[in-house]
């Protein structure tokens, strides 16, 4: 599971997801990419599930890059706990994703294979995605 080795602060505030992604919105490594269409949190489990789905569908062909990293801790309070008594403990990690962000990249496969792989991987994520292709020239 992806998570930071160490962080400066154990707990983080929720924040807002205004606007579109400025960084990480173009293909940098591969020929095909999976692009986010809506804002949201993608958990470390979702990132790993989509990665496994991509790897399985490629059958040891091609190369995959993961372009997001879960560096935001999400806290939860125990079930049936009264209000107050401070903030809960960190339970899992998420990556903050804005529309336009490239989540995964891939090369060394045909476009049909890439689209089908990204379709399957996109179902593992909690946000709407689409497959994008590098424009040559």
- Cβ(15)–Cβ(60) under 8 Å? no
Question: How far apart (Å, rounded) are the C-alpha atoms in residues 51 and 118?
Answer: 10
* Residue 137 pLDDT > 60: no
User: Tens digit of pLDDT for each residue in 77-113?
Assistant: 999 999 999 999 999 999 999 999 999 999 999 999 9
Of all residues in the chain, the percent with pLDDT exceeding 90 is 93
Residue 107, phi then psi, degrees to nearest 5: -145, 170
* pTM, rounded to two decimals: 0.92
Q: What is the mean pLDDT of the chain?
A: 94
Strands (E), the chain: 32-36, 40-43, 63-66, 72-76, 89-97, 102-107, 129-133
């Amino acid at each position: 599971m992806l998570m930071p080795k160490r962080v400066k602060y154990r707990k983080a505030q929720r924040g807002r997801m205004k606007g579109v992604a400025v960084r990480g919105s173009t293909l940098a490594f591969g020929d095909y990419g999976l692009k986010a269409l809506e804002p949201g949190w993608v958990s470390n489990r979702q990132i790993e599930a989509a990665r496994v789905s991509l790897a399985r569908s490629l059958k040891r062909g091609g190369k995959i890059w993961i372009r997001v990293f879960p560096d935001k801790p999400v806290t939860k309070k125990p079930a049936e706990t009264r209000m107050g008594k401070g903030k809960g403990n960190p339970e899992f990690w998420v990556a903050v994703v804005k529309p336009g962000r490239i989540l995964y990249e891939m090369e060394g496969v045909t476009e049909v294979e890439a689209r089908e792989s990204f379709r399957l991987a996109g179902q593992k994520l909690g946000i709407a995605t689409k497959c994008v292709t590098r424009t040559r020239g």
